[in-house]
Chain A
Amino acid sequence: MGLDYQLVLWNKYKKAYDKIIIISMLLYIILFAAITLIFNSETTIETLVIRAFGSLAIIMLNIILIIGPLARLNSNFLPILYNRRHLGVSMFIAAFIHGGFSIFQFHALGDVNPIYSIFTSNMDYNSLTNFPFQVLGFIALLILFAMASTSHDFFLGNLSAKVWKRLHMMVYFAYALIIAHMFLGAFQQETSPLTIGIMTIGFFTVASLHLITAFKEQKIDSMKMEEQEGWLKVCTISEIEEDRAKIFTVKNQRVAVFKYNGKLSAIHNVCKHQGGPLGEGKIIDGCITCPWHGYQYLPSNGQSPPPFTEKVATYQLKLEGDMIYINPEAFDEGTEVEPCNY
Chain B
Amino acid sequence: MEIIINIFLLILSVYFIIGLLFGFYFLFRGASKIDPLMENTKTKVRFLLFPGVVVTWPFLIGRLFKSKTP
Interface residues of A (CB under 8 A from B): 2-7, 115-116, 119-120, 123, 125, 145-146, 149-152, 154-155, 157-160, 163, 167
Contacts and interface: CB of A to CB of B under 8 A. Distances in A.
A114 B52 CA distance: 23
B54 A149 contact: yes
Interface in B22-70: 31, 34-35, 37-42, 44-45, 48-49, 51-52, 54-56, 59-60, 63
A336 B40 CA distance: 37
Contact of A149 (B2, B5, B41, B51): B51
11 contacts: A3-B40, A4-B42, A145-B51, A145-B55, A146-B56, A150-B52, A151-B52, A155-B52, A157-B35, A158-B31, A159-B59
Given A5-B41, A119-B5, A152 B48 contact: yes
B47 to A, nearest CB: 10
B9 interface: yes
A154 B31 CA distance: 10
Nearest to B48: A7
Interface pairs A-B: 5 shortest CB-CB = A149-B51, A149-B52, A4-B40, A150-B52, A4-B41
A150 B45 contact: no
Given A125-B1, A149-B54, A154-B49, A4 B37 contact: yes
Nearest to A116: B9
Given A115-B9, A152-B49, A146 B37 contact: no
A159 B34 CA distance: 11
B37 to A, nearest CB: 6
